[in-house]
Structure 1
Amino acid sequence: MNKKTRILGLLATTVLAGTILAGTTVVQAQQTRLTVATVNNGDMIVMQKLSSRFEQANPDIKLDWVVLEENVLRQRVTTDIATKGGQYDVLTIGTYEVPIWAKQGWIKKFDNLSADYDVADVLKPVREGLSYEGTLYALPFYAESSMTYYRTDLVQKTGLTMPERPTYDQIKEIASKIHDPANQVYGICLRGKPGWGENMAFLSTMVNTFGGQWFDKDWNTKIESPEWKQAVSFYIDLLKNYGPPGASSNGFNENLAMFSNGQCGIWIDATVAAGMVFNPATSKVSDKLGFAQAPVASWPKGSNWLWSWALAVPESSKKEAAAKKFVTWATSKEYIKLVGETEGWVSAPPGTRASTYDNKQYVEAAPFAKFVEQAIETADPINTTKNPKSYVGVQFAGIPEFQAIGTQTGQTMAAALTGQMTVDQALKTAQSAAERAMRQAGYKK
């Protein structure tokens, strides 16, 4: 090879390398980065893990994750959406926020979904809860009601039987006989961590079934009522006498860990936990798991809640097409199948689609499947309370002011649980704060 040929070869190589680099720069410049805000629940951790599949199929989209504890997520996402901060392109929000934020024009519609997505397959209560004026504004990642979990071995030792639908008095009796703090086994675990979606999610259903409610049909606040006092007193008595120490710090994830580790005899919480506590890879009591419906007291309705963790796209996002592409992927039948095939069918996101409960692989892997489907289908956000009410929602009141009211009430209930307040003081404080908020918002003159 002569000198001239070598020079021409080097020039050609340089030009080719420059072309490749330029092409890479173009690809990188065209890549859309989406910031996804989600809660640190187990199903969302799986979504984050499997999202690499989405990125491989969509190399023009890159996902950046912000995974937060539930109360922190709600605070940050609410602040960002209200101020149009634009930090996030995909939000994890729930049945409470969707219709309120849709009315405010804060989140984008999902009104042109493809036939492959199969909207009709989404369970009707879940679909309706994520709609405003008949249009979907978020797509459900998983949905849940609430139920009772218990250790069959411990209940058997008591000589008692857990009914299919226990009363709270029966729960208390069984918990009292299971309770063995010397061996770090506690009769019952319940949410104590303050927050409208933490302790008040559970306590609201308890208030419902004891005959109480947040507001009456004329928007009068009903927190300082005999029914609330009875429910809250019963709740505190259960946790103080038969619960673990430090219960006021325990939310869904903390109680899930304790129950899965064998430290709780009874746990009343979200149906979504069923797949986690039944999975031997994540639970020491998977072979000792029993389940029943959420307990009732004097009123049979409103004891099991209705909730969906859903994915929405804020109006402030400038990346609507890419964001919606990810949301439809993460909430699709195909994604549920992907989880089933990679993580095991017992881990598939529950509660959203009829096809999941028609899937023999899922039903065989999850013996609680039909039970959970029934709990979701029968939860009624309209006819929830013994006396007529003015709001929609089982474990929350579907008004913008409730987030603040529920949060403050949760703090006072936690104070009563730790003994910083009496039950009467806590109810009076919560009642006053709620009445003030409702007056300022114009519900009451």
Structure 2
Amino acid sequence: MLHLATAARWLFVTALIISELAYARPIVLATSEVSPFSDSKDVSKGYVNEEVVKAFEELDEQLNVERYPHARALMLAKKGTVDGVFPVHHHERFTDAFLLSDAIPAGASGFLIRTKDFKDNSSPDNLVEWLKRQNLRGIGYLRGTTAPKFLSKETFFNLYPGASTVNLLDLLGKGRIDVLFIDKYSAKEALVNERPNLIGKFNFIPGAEVASTYHLALSKQTPGASQLIEKFNLALQKQKQSRLLTLTLEKYGVYDASQGEEALVVGAPDINAVFQAKAYLDKHDSPLLHSNIQWRIMDETVLRRRLLGDFSVNENSFDLVLIGSYGLPIWAKRGVLLPFKSHPADYDIDDIIPAALHANIVDGQLYGLPFVAETTLTFYRKDLLEKFSLSLPTVLTYNDIKSLAKQVHIPEKEVYGIGLRTRVGWGQNMALVSTMANTYGGAWLDNNMQPTLDSKAWFDAVGMYAELVRQYGPPDNHDMGWQENQELFAQGKLAFFVDASSLGGALFDDHFSKVTQFTGVTYAPLGKQQKGAQWFWSWNFAIPKQSRYVEEAQLLAHFLTSKIFINLLKKARGEYAAPSGTRHSTYSSDYLQAVPYAAFEHQALKLLSSDKPGNAMVGKQFIPIPEFTAIGYAVGAQINDVVTGGKSVKAALEGAQSQTQIILERAGYFADKEE
């Protein structure tokens, strides 16, 4: 009996050791495009993905994530080739092969139809009967998931599983299916990034959303699966209690709709001027009580994608929104925005700088009020140049920048020659790179709408950009936006910083920057010509046509863009706090004295101005078509591959040329020529 008891104890100890050894290896999970939204280059991104990754970090478990089509991800998990799969829908059919986690909160799924089939815009009381009345029979859904049971039970409908979200959108666009049951967030992302030619052609059936929850499914073949799923659930619960889960969702622009039910919802980018305005409104009187305003402030790239995603399916999440000078004329022409037809008596519209005003005029009507505007400036460290007995030339070129950055680059002391945007995005790395291409003599398209990204001008510009970033930039700088570079400059770790003039307010704020007294400013560098060396950009308050509170939105927009507000903000928070670039009166003698870069900005904006709407921008960093968001992202990803060393400049630009050509062809810009 003693021997049997000893053997039993050894077996128990051995089982524990095996279990511990199982946890010693990385957990391998498969993810798919079901996740809103799994990044093909970084599978840890996407709000469901990030929640899962953070939970495993909390557990101190090693995790490897691999991306597959959803059906294949499920198959691999069922076979035990991977330890599990996420996300899986709560309504998917599962075998006994899986253990499911608690629900991971997500957005909603909906029923997408072609706009031309949207003959009855009321919310259906009975979706099945509504679809039957419209004779919408073909229901598409993502392979590996299931369509709602109330549809699959009806013999009237024909169900079609699609290989991917993009494939299903194509089928819907061509009329091969009538309805697409799809996660709303994923559908919008796919339209914006991969199928811009279909933007505006679909609607979600109102009031027919299906709440979505997702789960992590662990294979029962995974050693210690039951203990691991219990630990994962505890980590997930901790995320909920700490609001980390809510903050993760909001990082991706996903908000609880009930939060803004009785408030004016303002969509805004996370720029300095927005935070200054919000801080003022929180403490001072204004036309609206601060409690009646809900600010949804997010990364500017996320905001653009949320706006464009909503517009792509004829929806709206905001009552008032800051929209950029790229999107405003596009959506004004499509009837998405309401014009400002009158102004308060003391608004003084003639005080607005022409470049900022004309960027908001479409077909003779004003669709936006400029809140902040900017051009490109070069910020530099005067003390570092003096230390090495260097000086700026009268006319600064990118060759000069390269030579100077090389001489002041001291990486062993954490001082780097230059900081430039590298984060992928048409408003991130491409805002700078396309402006560089302009000043090297390049353009996005020729007069026949043909892309020119494989030209020598682009080759020279991208070659210079990549050399500056790789040779004289900070380490691991392949995913840096303006915020990260601004922070490094403020910490004294950059010698040069070429970016938006609007960033100067923070760089000359002693509370933010350690090098205020050593900071110098000059105009943007030139490549081979003056024309196009500077970009123009403005953030403008606009009112979506579907705004619930139009009068209140107009009132707030006029106040926040007025001379009165700018002066109040200066008095309350200092001269540097004023949103710049929009009004001549902003550049008072006190402002010019307090903000050293202001004179350069004002002069540069006046040079970019024109008496005619539409001619305000000399250096155009975007193509004014809806498809440009996809083009800019695709080209930005190719150029980022040069920064990381994955591609040569030549190969990246050839890829960019090909992708741009495909997007334009798919959108029909060459249809007449083909005929």
Tell me which interval the TM-score lies in, with the shorter structure as reference length.
0.7 to 0.9
Matched, 1:374 2:608: no
3-state SS of 1:113 partner:
coil
Q: Which has the higher helix share?
A: 1
Question: Which one of 347, 361, 368 corresponds to residue 117 of structure 1?
Answer: 347
Where relative contact order (Cα < 8 A, 6+ residues apart) is larger, the structure is: 1
Gaps (5+ residues) in structure 1? 1-30, 383-390
Which residues of 2 match residues 64-143 of structure 1 at below 5 A?
A: 64-143=294-373
Amino acid at match of 2:632: G
Cα distance between partner residues in 2 of 1:392 and 1:42: 25
> 1:148-176: CA deviations, max 9, x gaps?
00000001122221134301111111000
Q: Is the CA contact (8 Å cut-off) linking 2:408 and 2:416 kept in structure 1?
A: yes
The code of the aligned residue for 2:636 comes to G
| Residue of structure 2 in register with 1:221 after alignment | 451
Q: CA deviation at 1:212?
A: 0.9
Question: Which stretch shifts more, 58-67 or 243-252?
Answer: 58-67
Whole-angstrom distance in 1 between the partners of 2:429 and 2:263? 36
Whether contact under 8 Å (1:158, 1:174) holds in the other structure is no
Q: For residue 364 of structure 1, what is the aligned residue in structure 2? A: 593
Aligned equivalent of 2:410: 180
State the structure with more CA Rg: 2
TM-score (norm 1): 0.88
SS in 1 for 2:478: helix
The 1:251–1:342 alpha-carbon spacing in structure 2 relative to 1, beyond 3 Å, is same
Q: How does 1:185-204 map to 2 (within 5 A)?
A: 185-204=415-434
Residue in structure 1 matching 2:666, options 437, 440, 444: 440
8 Å CA contact retained: 1:162, 1:292:
no
Q: Deviations over 1:309-332 (max 9, x none)?
A: 111110111210011111111111
Deviation (angstroms), 1:443: 2.2
TM-score relative to the length of structure 2: 0.58
Q: Tell me how far apart the structure 2 counterparts of residues 111 and 241 of structure 1 sit (CA, whole Å).
A: 52
- Cα displacement (A) at 1:60: 9.5
Q: 2:656 aligned with 1:430, yes or no?
A: yes
Report the secondary structure of 1:248's partner residue: coil
Secondary structure, aligned partner of 1:193: coil
Q: Which residue of the partner structure matches residue 23 of structure 1?
A: none
Per-residue CA distance 1:34-56 (angstroms, 9 max, x = gap): 11111111111111212235766
| Closer/same/farther in 2, CA of residues 59 and 93 from structure 1, 3 Å limit | closer
Residue pairs, 1:132-171, within 5 angstroms:
132-171=362-401
After superposing the two structures, state which structure 1 stretch, 42-51 or 206-215, moved more.
42-51
Aligned equivalent of 2:530 = 300
Bigger strand share? 2
Query: How far 1:381 sits from its partner (Å)?
Result: 9.3
Aligned-residue identity in percent: 37
Distance 2:404 2:619 in 1: 30
In structure 2, stretches of 5+ residues that fail to align are 1-260, 612-616
More moved, 50-59 vs 218-227: 50-59
1:272 equivalenced with 2:502 (yes/no): yes
Quick check: 2:375–2:534 contact (8 Å CA) kept in 1?
yes
Q: Could you list the per-position Cα deviations for residues 382-411 of structure 1 after superposition, in whole angstroms to 9, with x for gaps in the alignment? A: 9xxxxxxxx986111222221111111111
Distance 1:287 1:272 in 2: 18
Mapping of residues 254-403 of structure 1, within 5 Å? 254-357=484-587, 359-379=588-608, 394-403=620-629
Q: In structure 2, what is the Cα distance between the partners aligned to 1:169 and 1:442?
A: 40
What letter corresponds to residue 322 of structure 1 in structure 2? E
User: Is this contact kept in 2: 1:138–1:310, CA < 8 A?
Assistant: yes
Give per-residue Cα distances to partners, 1:267-309, cap 9 Å, x unaligned.
0000011111111111111000111110002121101111101
Q: Distance in 2 between matches of 1:270 and 1:60?
A: 29
Equivalent residue of 2:531, what SS?
A: coil
1:80-121 deviations in whole A, cap 9, x for unaligned?
A: 233232311111111111111100011110121122111111
Retained in 1: the 8 A contact 2:287–2:555? Answer: no
Are 2:267 and 1:37 equivalent residues in the alignment? yes
RMSD: 2.1
| CA contact 1:90–1:323 (8 Å) conserved in 2 | yes
